[in-house]
Amino acid sequence: MGNSPPPAACTIAGSDSGGGAGIQADLKTFSAIGVWGTTVITALTAQNTREVSQVCMVPEVMVAAQLEAVMADFDIRAFKTGMLGTAAVIRTVDRVLPHRCPLVVDPVMVATSGARLLDESAEYELIGTMLPRATVVTPNIPEAAVLSGMEISSVDGMREAALAIMELGPEYVLIKGGHLEGTEVVDLLAGPSSELILSGPRYPYDVHGSGCCFSAAMTAYMALGCTVPEAFRKGKAFITAAIREAVVSVSGRYSVNPRAGRGGIGREDTFSPEHPGSRVF
């Protein structure tokens, strides 16, 4: 039929049996945005919106085999890492992943339910190995606090932490501000020479998988050729809509809804009086 291969993105992460986060959320997000999703599964989890009951790590040789297989046959234009779990998996991904590829590192450490998804002994490996390779690293507030060694309770604190994390090697740092108090959710992207702050409405419920979805949206937009600031703007709009239209489970808890994200509209807050230090890219 003469069709050319579509642009593809690859997520290297754990499987969420409840479908709300991890590999499943990433694939839904890639599909909604219009890129072909490929996967490297690092861990199997038995989980739902309430808890992670069991985790089974995938052997490193199989992680490597998955990554080599998809790279051999798909036009992968951006990669994302999520749950890597152990230092051995991190080293495996670092060895096989091509250098100078657009790479979004979501430093998944602890699930929303509180279950640990990265060995404490692997934190140093994540910081020393993956962050220097990252085009953009996307921690939430608790993860940014670990990476920066700082307490974060304000947008100014987010800014200071982002600058500290940039010293670890990533080109850009996106700190997702959902854990801060306030009527709006403020996210901050720090780059080589300036920063961009975007805000959106806060909805009155916690949403499983929102961090995965946001990072995956940025990965997909980068695979389509967007710059990191452009991917941040589009990703913010996407996740705002995906949270607004979140899906509720039998237990009454919410999961992100990537299918709703494509039509989302975010509100830019770059020059808000609350954030006088912001500089647009």
| Measured distance CA(212)–CA(216) in Å, rounded | 6
The full length of the chain comes to 281
Phi, psi of 185 (to 5 degrees): -100, 120
pLDDT tens column, 124-164: 899 999 999 999 999 999 999 999 999 999 999 999 999 99
Q: 74, 46 in Cβ contact below 8 A? A: no
| Measured distance CA(1)–CA(69) in Å, rounded | 24
Which pLDDT value is given to residue 5?
84
Rounded to an integer, the average pLDDT of 113-119 is 65
Which pLDDT value is given to residue 104?
98
pLDDT tens column, 153-194: 999 999 999 999 999 999 999 999 988 888 899 999 999 988
Q: Which CATH architecture has domain 8-178+207-227?
A: 3-Layer(aba) Sandwich (3.40)
Rounded to an integer, the average pLDDT of 67-79 is 97
Rounded to an integer, the average pLDDT of 38-62 is 94
Which pLDDT value is given to residue 54?
93
Maximum Cα–Cα distance across the chain = 56
Q: Where are the beta strands (DSSP E) in 86-223?
A: 103-105, 136-137, 172-176, 184-190, 195-201, 207-208
pLDDT at 115 over 70: no
Task: Please give the order of strands across the beta sheet that includes 247-248.
Answer: 207-208, 254-255, 247-248
- Domain ranges across the chain: 8-178+207-227
Rounded to an integer, the average pLDDT of 203-214 is 93
Which pLDDT value is given to residue 1?
45
Provide DSSP, 114-131.
S-B-S-GGGHHHIIIIIG
Q: 97, 79 in Cβ contact below 8 A? A: yes
- The SS3 of residue 17 is coil
| Measured distance CA(76)–CA(221) in Å, rounded | 12
Which pLDDT value is given to residue 183?
86
Residues 6+ apart with CB under 8 A from 210: 178, 239, 242, 243, 256
Which pLDDT value is given to residue 112?
59
pLDDT tens column, 225-279: 999 999 999 999 999 999 999 999 999 999 999 999 775 544 433 323 344 344 4
